[in-house]
């Protein structure tokens, strides 16, 4: 699942896939991750806290290249966001695990690029 999410984020960032097209693919991949492949279902992933989700927005040169909403239960997703340091990814994962609300990370560069991760 992590590899698929990483690939979807890369495709959106490269302009190969629109954020709107990526969102249902991410949801479908999450549902597929619950299958064991032998006809039985694996235990479901823990539900999002209060139905909340994480919004990942990435801009390059002022243009939005990623704008995805994913279930909050995917606390490991931060390591898949291109351009985040391991410390930033750990900060996001810790904030999600603790139930922090609102903007968690807002990183900007001199070229107009940014990564914003927040809870909704």
Given a cut of 90, is residue 5 above it in pLDDT?
no
In a domain, 43, yes or no: no
Given a cut of 70, is residue 74 above it in pLDDT?
no
In a domain, 81, yes or no: yes
In a domain, 96, yes or no: yes
In a domain, 107, yes or no: yes
In a domain, 45, yes or no: no
Q: Binning pLDDT at 50, 70 and 90, where does residue 103 land?
A: very high
In a domain, 92, yes or no: yes
3-state DSSP call for residue 119?
A: strand
Task: Give the DSSP per-residue string, 56-117.
Answer: EEEEETTEEEEEEEEETT-GGGGGGSTT--HHHHHHHHHHHHHT--SEEEEEE-TTS-EEEE
In a domain, 80, yes or no: yes
* Three state DSSP letters for 16-56: CCCHHHHHHHHHHHHHHCCECCCCCECCCCCCCHHHCEEEE
pLDDT given at position 38: 42
Tell me how many domains the chain contains.
1
Range of the domain at 93: 2-38+50-119
pLDDT in tens, 31-57: 665 543 444 443 333 444 456 788 888
pLDDT given at position 51: 60
pLDDT given at position 43: 35
In a domain, 54, yes or no: yes
């Amino acid at each position: 699942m992590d590899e698929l999410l990483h690939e979807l984020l890369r495709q959106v960032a490269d302009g190969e896939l629109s954020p709107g097209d990526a969102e249902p693919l991410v949801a479908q991949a999450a549902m597929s991750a619950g299958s064991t492949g032998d006809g039985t279902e694996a235990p479901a992933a823990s539900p999002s806290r209060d139905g909340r989700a994480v919004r990942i927005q990435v801009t390059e040169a002022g243009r939005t290249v990623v704008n995805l909403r994913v279930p909050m239960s995917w606390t490991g997703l931060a390591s898949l966001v291109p351009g985040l340091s391991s410390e930033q990814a750990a900060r996001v994962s810790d904030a999600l695990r603790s139930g922090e609300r609102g903007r968690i990370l807002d990183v900007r560069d001199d070229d107009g690029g940014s990564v914003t991760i927040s809870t909704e």
